[in-house]
Structure 1
Amino acid sequence: MTTGPGGSVLVLTSAHDVTADLVLRILAERKVPAVRLDPGTDLHTGAALTATYGTGDQRGTLRTPTRELDLTKVRSVWTRRPSPFDGPPELDGQERRFAASQSLWGGGGILASLPGAHYVNHPWNNRAAEYKPAQLVTAQRSGLSVPSTLITNDHDRAREFVGQHTGAVVYKPLWNTPYTIDGRAQQVWVREVRPHEITPDVASCPHLFQAKVEKAFDARLTAVGDRVFAVRIDSPDLDWRQRQSLMKCTPIDVPDRIARSVSAYLTISRLAFGAFDFAVTPTGDWYFLECNPNGQWAWQPDSITNAIAHAIADQLQNGPEA
């Protein structure tokens, strides 16, 4: 591992993100300076962000209650889990909405445009990579196997797709949209769907239907640069996220072909990090399900979690040389 360039690491995340703490401790042990900022809240609770632009000149500073950071000397930015730009809580209505949008486009724009900084990942690349259709296209381009998938708001086409498959078909949401019933948060899990369950209500918005992979197990593959870490997930549920207390995770090796395709996927998507979900068949075929460009990873076995934390620290320490 190289010592990397000079300058600080800027970590954009909430104050309560314990996953970020794992990496920040490693950077501290290596004596790599790091500044933690939650721009969605800190910029209206004591932090100040300034940028100036002119012909051939760009400068900027971030001032917190304890630090002042020269933004031209940031070696890396880790876009971890920052809070949304919601605006100062003391404002109401359109004033708060105005302040929130100005913070997003102004403060967010400054932090996404630091000269020479290495982003893990760049926030705009993160957003682009979150679209499920884009993920499927990128997986195909990268040489990964993709289950037969339909995205449509056509009721007849959806029923036809579900009916024509001899095996099961599942429905999965295109985005994890907040949803409540009687004030209680609800989660839409991946589930099997039958033709008679497809109603004209499909026309209300696009729905994603996908041929169910007859799998031996699920696999979570976490990629950091050219390094990959994977666990086998055995769960009684179709969607292992539903009852994580019942799943079993075991470190596994990644086939070379999958590792090469994952590397191609990151390159196409301009990502330095990705959390990939696969369904693995009894014959050992890996089917791509999705890639979360900012997925959680600290829930995995300690050996995997520790390896991922060190790999991310390497990326941040080495900066543009990573």
Structure 2
Amino acid sequence: MSGFRRGPARRDSVLIVCDTGDPHAAAVATMVEQVHGLEVIRFDPSTYPRAYGSFRVDRLGTARAMSRAVGLDRARSVWWRPATPSRSALMPGIDSDFEPDACDSFLEGMLWSIPAHWVNDPGADRTASRRIVQWETAVRAGLRVPETLVTNDPDEARSFTESRPGPVVFKRDGTRRGSCPQARIVTREDFARMSDIRRCPAAFQDYVQSECELRVVWVDGVEWTVRVDAPPGVQRLVDRPAVEVSFSATTLPASVSKSLATLMGALGLGFGVLDLRVGLDGEYYFLEVDPRGRFDHLVTATGLPMFRSIADLLADDEMVTGR
């Protein structure tokens, strides 16, 4: 590691904290470099502690150094999108003194202390990733949320599911990507396995028969809205590669846009990918928001300048005011 570089910080770089293979980071980095002429630092938290890192406080102030992310103190903004939750690399059998909690505490503390504009602030990101918080906030923001129960009580879950007039969607709750199965319709066979939720709470939600689904990529007040249509009869719970799905750019009613702005402001999010559903009754239903959501397939399908929008936000001089 080259050590600390002291002196007045030139806020001439953008830091993107992400998985190494994140295609969103690569596309936004290209925009920041080519359009705005700023350096981009990309850092994957899973490379630590293989990478060396240090934080120092002295009479000159503070300084950070990381062997695989040179120039942290020059970052004017940070796009925070590591894997959920952020964990440093596991090194079994390499170092008996390796402590994941200590490594995470150092790495997160060093990164989160950078006085830059954050998209999103890690504290807000962590809180907003809880869907119960999202649903409570969405209701207060004036959005319609399908009737939902989250529980680890099998009797309560069975009673709720049997009482609903239509299909009910089942999904395990959680924050770690890949740990929870995709949403699906509850079937009669599921009732026999309902006791499994004692060990892991699950969400049960009315399945909204819909005209279409909407994905809204929110970038600090700018909403890029994409309509998602599937063939008749397809249960549109997720974008399934095996199903022929069409995407088209669209806009939201002013009242829905206003509620989304209230929601994102209350959650403290400058970026997020929201899932909405337009019911057969014409209502707009809020399902969830992912503070680190993927949207590269939406860019490919529609050509909307989402990557440029994020790059402009990260490069904005007026946003460099500290956290």
Q: What's 1:228 paired with?
A: 223
Q: Contact 2:15 / 2:72 at 8 angstroms: preserved in 1?
A: no
Specify the code of the residue in structure 1 equivalent to 2:258: R
1:210 aligns with 2:205: yes
Q: What's 2:75 paired with?
A: 74
What RMSD, in angstroms, separates the aligned Cα atoms of the two structures? 2.7
Q: Contact 2:299 / 2:306 at 8 angstroms: preserved in 1?
A: no
C-alpha separation in 2, matches of 1:217 and 1:64: 47
Change in Cα spacing, 1:114 to 1:305, as seen in structure 2 (3 Å) is farther
Distance apart, 1:42 and its partner CA: 5.1
Distance apart, 1:306 and its partner CA: 4.8
Q: What's 1:131 paired with?
A: 130
TM-score by length of 1: 0.84
1:75 match: secondary structure: strand
- Selected match of 2:24 from 2, 19, 30: 19
Residue correspondence of structure 1 range 1-322 to structure 2 within 5 A: 6-29=11-34, 30-41=36-47, 43-45=49-51, 47-52=52-57, 58-64=61-67, 68-69=70-71, 71=73, 73-81=74-82, 84-88=87-91, 91=94, 95-96=97-98, 98=99, 100-115=100-115, 117-175=116-174, 188-194=181-187, 197-198=190-191, 199-235=194-230, 236-243=234-241, 246-302=244-300, 304=302, 306-318=304-316, 321=319
Q: Deviations over 1:169-197 (max 9, x none)?
A: 11112126577xxxxxx972212214673
2:210 match: secondary structure: coil
Change in Cα spacing, 1:319 to 1:288, as seen in structure 2 (3 Å) is farther
C-alpha separation in 1, matches of 2:82 and 2:103: 17
C-alpha separation in 2, matches of 1:256 and 1:144: 12
Change in Cα spacing, 1:305 to 1:89, as seen in structure 2 (3 Å) is farther
C-alpha separation in 1, matches of 2:177 and 2:145: 27
Q: Contact 2:173 / 2:180 at 8 angstroms: preserved in 1?
A: no
1:95 match: secondary structure: coil
Q: Contact 1:43 / 1:49 at 8 angstroms: preserved in 2?
A: no
Specify the code of the residue in structure 2 equivalent to 1:290: E
Q: Contact 1:76 / 1:319 at 8 angstroms: preserved in 2?
A: no
Q: Contact 2:17 / 2:79 at 8 angstroms: preserved in 1?
A: yes
Change in Cα spacing, 1:243 to 1:175, as seen in structure 2 (3 Å) is farther
Q: Contact 1:237 / 1:243 at 8 angstroms: preserved in 2?
A: no
Give me the identity figure in percent: 27
TM-score by length of 2: 0.84
Q: Contact 1:225 / 1:272 at 8 angstroms: preserved in 2?
A: yes
Change in Cα spacing, 1:132 to 1:161, as seen in structure 2 (3 Å) is same
C-alpha separation in 2, matches of 1:138 and 1:146: 10
Q: Deviations over 1:190-214 (max 9, x none)?
A: 1221467333333233221111111
Unaligned ranges ≥5, structure 1: 180-185
Give the stretch that moved more between structures: 211-220 or 33-42: 33-42
Specify the code of the residue in structure 1 equivalent to 2:294: Q
